[in-house]
């Protein structure tokens, strides 16, 4: 079988970017949560807030460190595998990606050290400021990256001269049509991710009766937050979808598994899209619902995949199913938030073990939803790299062979498997040791304090005897 | 075109970033290379502790350089990375393993042996790849119409293997002289013992590369044996610095060898730049050919001019806070 460098490059990019996304999507939400906890402590001087902030800062440190490590790879991917694209788009993408790096460094140099190591050493107000600046910085980083990505979906403000994009208007290019929707959708996704992780971990601590005062507060806050944000995310997602319908109708057609342009389109709950036959097998749907959602009329016409030739269609089954995974998890989140409200009104929010256990089980779901959502939007753009202007095939590195791409794909999977395993393993130990009174906590013996490096903010040992970890 | 040539300014910024990276990550990568030869585990702790507060700040310059190249000289980015595809992967894999090993070694007892190995191998592979990049730059790239057209292993030649091994010796020298500066007792004695040997290896490779390079690239031949005699000052100064390293070791003056080694690097680097100037993608593209649009260079310049002083200030402050010797059995507190 011939190895296809294009397919392998796409797989590789998908792999490294999915792996990387897991970390920032969590740290963006968590940074804001830590800033909130610091603010509450500053205002009320209630030590419970301080204990929570301390614990979550340790988790933040480890996750941030892993995000930085996986991010280094990202900054080289564009050149190694997509050199034609990088060269063509460099006038716009270069400054944007660099601004992201610059923002991250500025943040790390100036404020992260104070947040991680300044507790008790700098005035409380300054520590709070550092937390707020770190949270702000994560959003500025996301701003640049999402702007660059949105431009690839809805390019504008540029002119193509001699196969290179030249920027005519920075503001038009940066604030391109899909950017506000994507940014809002992703920002809320980050808060939801942070919210569900904090809720799940707090529930885990409550199930073990650890630091009840602090963890009840944390869980209560999270459930209020999720009660607001989970439904809001559904609405923002809907608006994002309508924006996509306007600019990338083929993507929406793939999301809905809609082959022929027509009115009275049903909302498919289940189907098996068959790209070769250009039709679905085993359709089960709600009549007219898709028309209603997308056009706000029952018989509204929706453009089908048949408007473009089969070569210009995205991989329909992947987009269709990823979309259903994302929406399904979103609905589950809304259900969990309302279940929390019901239990709160009965006064059993902190005692209902089934609910608490479900929350623990839901920790991984927001990450899955985010990855599924990104697969929808990125695969849905195929075969375009810059929508309507440059295809994946045109953007890939011409000198790349299938064997080279396969070698690095296997290499990155192997490297990340080790790093991810070590990181996740360590993170679970940090959590297991979390929120214990100081005397019961495991610390690294003679730990040397080395500032500035995120991971040194956590003092949990990496191995030693597993039994001594209190569960 | 305007009052300033933005491409020259950017060449200056990126050139500065590269030498900062080489010097700063150089000594901590060098310690990784020397790791298996350390006399005992105590010495390894001292080595680790001496770079622990600063190493990841050192690597920020690498990322800044990579992103800056895409923005300011996209041709470099879109030719070097495909041409060095396998090498770039090895370097990144090496740096990742080494970074993770750095963190978890301290928190680990039972698995420490494995983290030690990851630290050493990661450092060695990353360094070799960086040295090979320098060699590949001197060799030049097969480029047609702004697109790399060579093969996957064009970068791997006897010449680049030599530059790769040469940089390993060079980083090890930076590492050993850094250790002289930062340690005492038996650890420093060991560093003093190995420094002259490393210096000899570095000088040998330096000589071979200097003789070989003009034959690899006719432009370099023309530059060195043409009319401009002033440029011979750079190799002369580099050799003088090598002599100072040796003297510093003989007289046991702890600060001298490290500073003089930095001198060797700076003058060799300047020598390389004047050999190749203004070719940035040899053999045929100058830095103006490789540049992005002026408005893009300007757009980013504003942010970078604001951030570089902050990063420099913070870096200087970190080094100041952690100045002085690292003792056996103790880290910084």
Task: Tell me the chain A residues in contact with residue B103 when contact means C-beta distances shorter than 8 Å.
Answer: 65, 453, 455-456
Q: What percent of chain B has pLDDT over 90?
A: 62
The residue whose two tokens read 């730990």 is A447
> Nearest CA of chain B to the CA of A162: how many Å?
12
- 3-state SS, residue A268: strand
Strand partners for A262: A302
pLDDT > 70? residue A452? no
CA dist A354 and A342 (Å) reads: 14
Question: Are the Cβ atoms of A109 and B311 closer than 8 angstroms?
Answer: yes
pLDDT of B142 over the 70 cut: yes
Return the pLDDT at A7.
95
Q: What is the DSSP string of A314-356?
A: --HHHHHHHHHHHHHHHHHHHHHHHHHHHHHHTT-TTT-HHHH
- With CA atoms as reference, report the closest residue to A135 among A194, A79, A84, A94: A194
A206 in helix, strand or coil?
helix
Q: Write out residues 77-96 of B within 8 Å (CB-CB) of A.
A: 77-83, 85-86, 88-89, 92-93, 95-96
| Pair type for strands A279-286 and B147-148 | unpaired
For residue B144, the SS3 value is strand
The predicted-structure confidence for A68-96, as pLDDT tens digits, reads as follows 778 888 888 999 999 999 999 999 999 99
- Cβ-based neighbours of A31, under 8 Å, separated by 6 or more: A60, A131, A134, A135, A137, A138
Chain B nearest-CA distance from A428, in A, is: 14
Give the 3-state secondary structure of residue A383: coil
In chain B, domain spans? 7-298
Q: Which of B47, B51, B70 to mutate to test the interface with A (most CBs of A within 10 A)?
A: B70
For residue A138, give the nearest of A117, A113, A112 by alpha carbon.
Answer: A112
**Residue pLDDT, tens place only, A411-438:** 999 999 888 888 888 899 999 888 887 6
Position B315 confidence tier, pLDDT thresholds 50, 70, 90: confident
- Closest-CA residue of B relative to A400 is B82
CA distance A404 to chain B (A): 7
Q: Which residues are CB-neighbours of B144 under 8 A, at least 6 positions away?
A: none
CA–CA separation, A164 and B147 (whole Å): 13
Q: How many CB pairs under 8 A join A and B?
A: 219
Q: At what angle do helices A47-81 and B85-106 cross, to 10 degrees?
A: 160
What chain A residue is nearest to B89 in terms of C-alpha separation? A408
CA A79 vs CA A74, A155, A160, A325, B318: distances in Å: 10, 20, 20, 32, 32
Q: What is the pLDDT of residues A92-119, one digit of tens each?
A: 999 999 999 888 777 776 788 888 878 8
What's the rounded Cα separation, in Å, for the pair A414 and A408? 10
Annotation: CATH topology of B7-298: Formate dehydrogenase/DMSO reductase fold (1.20.1630)
- From CA A261, how far away is CA A284, in angstroms rounded? 19
Q: Judge whether B75 and B146 are in contact, CB under 8 Å.
A: yes
- Taking CB atoms and an 8 Å limit, are A93 and B70 in contact across chains? yes
CA angle in degrees (0–180, nearest 5) for A288-A238-A24: 145
The per-residue pLDDT for range B219-252, each reduced to its tens digit, is 888 888 887 778 889 999 999 999 999 999 999 9
Buried b (16+ CB within 10 A) or exposed e, A318-355: bbbbbbbbbbebbeebbebbebbeebbeeeebbebeeb
pLDDT digits (tens, 9 = 90+) for A201-252: 999 999 999 999 999 999 999 999 999 999 999 999 999 999 999 999 999 9
DSSP state, A257?
T
pLDDT exceeds cutoff 70 at A447: no
Distance from CA of A181 to the nearest CA of B (A): 25
Chain B environment of A76 (Cβ under 8 Å)? 66, 81, 88, 92
Q: Give φ, ψ of A274 to 5 degrees.
A: -110, 105
Calculate the alpha carbon distances from B27 to A188, A451, B114, B147, B332 in Å.
Answer: 43, 19, 22, 35, 19
Q: Which residue of B lies nearest to A457 if distances are taken between CA atoms?
A: B103
Residues of B whose CB is below 8 A from A411:
89, 93
Convert A114-179 into a string of H (helix), E (strand) and C (coil).
HHHHCCCCCCHHHHHHHHHHHHHHHHHHHHHHHHHHHHHHCCCCEEEECCEEEECCHHHHHCCCCH
Supply the pLDDT for residue A248: 96
Min Cα–Cα distance to chain B from A340, Å:
38
Dihedral angle over CA of B284, A95, A23, A331, nearest 10 = -120
Interface contact flag, A110 B314, Cβ < 8 Å? yes
> B205 has which bridge partners?
none
Cα–Cα–Cα angle for B39, B45, B49, rounded to 5 degrees: 135
B48 Cβ under 8 Å from any chain A Cβ: no
Query: Is it the case that residue A469 has pLDDT exceeding 70?
Result: no
- CA dihedral defined by B224, B230, B234, B236, rounded to 10 degrees? 90
* CB within 8 Å: A94 and B109: no
Higher pLDDT, A441 or B191: B191
Nearest to residue B37, comparing CAs of B129, B172, B201, B178? B172
Closest CA to B203 of B240, B151, B154, B177: B240
Q: How far is A213 from chain B (nearest CA, A)?
A: 30
Of the candidates A98, A398, A451, the beta carbon closest to that of B147 is on A398
| Rg of chain A over all Cα atoms, to the nearest angstrom | 24
- Return the residue in A65, A98, A400 with the most chain B beta carbons within 10 A, the one to mutate for interface testing: A98
Write down the mean pLDDT value for chain B.
89
Q: pLDDT band at A456, cuts 50/70/90?
A: low
Give the C-alpha separation, B81 to A399, whole Å: 11
* From A78, A94, A408, residue closest to B89, measured CB to CB: A408
Say if residues A250 and A202 touch (Cβ distance below 8 Å): no
Q: What whole-number distance in Å separates Cα of residue B102 and Cα of residue A462?
A: 12
- Residue of chain A whose alpha carbon sits nearest to that of B296: A91
pLDDT band, residue A149 (cuts 50/70/90): very high
**Can you name the residues that pair with A272 across neighbouring β-strands?**
A281
């Amino acid at each position: 079988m011939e190895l296809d460098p294009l397919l392998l490059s796409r797989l590789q990019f998908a792999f490294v970017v999915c792996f990387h996304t897991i970390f920032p999507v969590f740290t963006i939400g968590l940074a804001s949560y830590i800033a909130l906890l610091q603010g509450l402590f500053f205002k009320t001087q209630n030590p419970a807030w301080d204990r929570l902030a301390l614990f979550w800062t340790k988790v933040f440190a480890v996750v941030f460190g892993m995000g930085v490590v996986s991010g280094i790879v990202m900054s080289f991917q564009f050149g190694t595998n997509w050199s034609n694209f990088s060269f063509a788009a460099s006038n716009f993408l270069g400054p944007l990606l660099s601004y992201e790096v610059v923002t991250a460094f500025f943040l790390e140099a100036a404020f992260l050290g104070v947040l991680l190591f300044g507790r008790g050493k700098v005035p409380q107000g300054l520590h709070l400021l550092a937390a707020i600046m770190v949270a702000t910085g994560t959003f500025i980083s996301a701003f640049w990256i999402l702007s660059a990505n949105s431009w690839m979906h809805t390019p504008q403000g540029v002119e193509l001269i001699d196969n290179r994009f030249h920027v005519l208007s920075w503001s038009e290019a940066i604030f391109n049509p899909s950017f506000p929707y994507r940014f809002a959708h992703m920002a809320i996704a980050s808060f939801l991710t942070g919210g569900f992780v904090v809720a799940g971990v707090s529930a885990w601590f409550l199930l073990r009766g650890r630091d009840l005062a602090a963890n009840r507060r944390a869980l209560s806050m999270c459930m209020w937050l999720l009660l607001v944000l989970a439904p809001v995310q559904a609405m923002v997602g809907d608006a994002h979808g309508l924006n996509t319908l306007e600019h990338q109708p083929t993507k929406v057609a793939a999301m809905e598994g809609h082959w022929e342009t027509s009115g009275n389109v049903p909302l498919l709950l289940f189907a098996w899209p068959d790209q070769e036959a250009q039709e679905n097998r085993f359709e089960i749907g709600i009549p007219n619902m898709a028309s209603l959602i997308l056009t706000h009329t029952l018989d509204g016409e929706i453009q089908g995949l048949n408007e473009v030739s089969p070569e210009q269609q995205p991989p329909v089954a992947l987009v269709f199913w990823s979309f259903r995974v994302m929406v399904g998890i979103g609905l589950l989140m809304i259900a969990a938030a309302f279940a929390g409200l019901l239990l709160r009104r009965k006064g059993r929010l902190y005692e209902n073990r089934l609910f608490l256990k479900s929350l623990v089980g839901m920790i991984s779901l927001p990450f899955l939803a985010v990855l599924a959502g990104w697969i929808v939007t990125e695969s849905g753009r195929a075969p375009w790299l810059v929508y309507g202007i440059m295809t994946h095939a045109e953007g890939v590195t011409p000198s790349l062979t299938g064997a080279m791409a396969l070698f690095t794909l296997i290499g990155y999977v192997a490297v990340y498997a080790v790093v991810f395993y070590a990181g996740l393993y360590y993170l679970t130990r940090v959590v297991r040791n979390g929120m214990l009174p100081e005397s019961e906590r495991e610390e690294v013996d003679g730990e040397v304090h080395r500032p500035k490096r995120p991971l040194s903010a956590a003092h949990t040992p990496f191995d030693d005897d597993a039994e001594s970890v209190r569960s | 075109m305007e009052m300033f040539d933005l491409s020259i300014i950017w060449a200056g910024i990126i050139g500065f970033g590269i030498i900062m990276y080489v010097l700063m990550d150089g000594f901590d990568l060098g310690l990784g290379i020397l790791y298996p030869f350390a006399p005992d585990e105590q010495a390894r702790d001292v080595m680790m502790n001496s770079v622990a507060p600063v190493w990841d700040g050192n690597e920020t310059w690498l990322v800044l350089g990579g992103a800056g190249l895409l923005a300011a000289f996209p041709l470099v980015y879109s030719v070097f990375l495909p041409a060095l595809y396998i090498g770039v992967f090895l370097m990144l894999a090496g740096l990742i393993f080494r970074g993770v090993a750095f963190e978890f070694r301290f928190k680990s007892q039972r698995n420490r042996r494995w983290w030690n190995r990851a630290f050493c191998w990661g450092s060695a592979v990353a360094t070799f790849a960086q040295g090979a990049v320098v060699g590949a730059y001197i060799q030049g790239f097969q480029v047609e119409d702004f697109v790399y057209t060579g093969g996957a292993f064009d970068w791997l030649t006897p010449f680049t293997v030599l530059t790769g091994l040469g940089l390993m010796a060079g980083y090890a020298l930076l590492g050993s002289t850094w250790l002289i500066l930062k340690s005492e007792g038996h650890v420093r004695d060991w560093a003093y013992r190995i420094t002259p040997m490393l210096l000899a290896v570095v000088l040998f490779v330096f000589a071979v590369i200097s003789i070989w390079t003009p034959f690899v690239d006719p432009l370099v031949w023309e530059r060195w044996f043409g009319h401009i005699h002033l440029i011979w000052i750079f190799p002369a100064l580099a050799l003088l610095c090598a002599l100072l390293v040796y003297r510093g070791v003989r007289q046991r003056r702890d600060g001298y060898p490290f500073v003089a080694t930095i001198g060797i690097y700076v003058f060799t680097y300047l020598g390389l730049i004047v050999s190749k100037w203004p070719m940035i993608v040899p053999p045929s593209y100058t830095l103006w050919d490789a540049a992005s649009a002026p408005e893009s260079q300007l757009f980013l310049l504003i942010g970078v001019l604001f951030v570089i002083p902050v990063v420099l200030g913070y870096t200087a402050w970190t080094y100041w806070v952690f100045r002085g010797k690292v003792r056996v059995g103790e880290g910084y507190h």
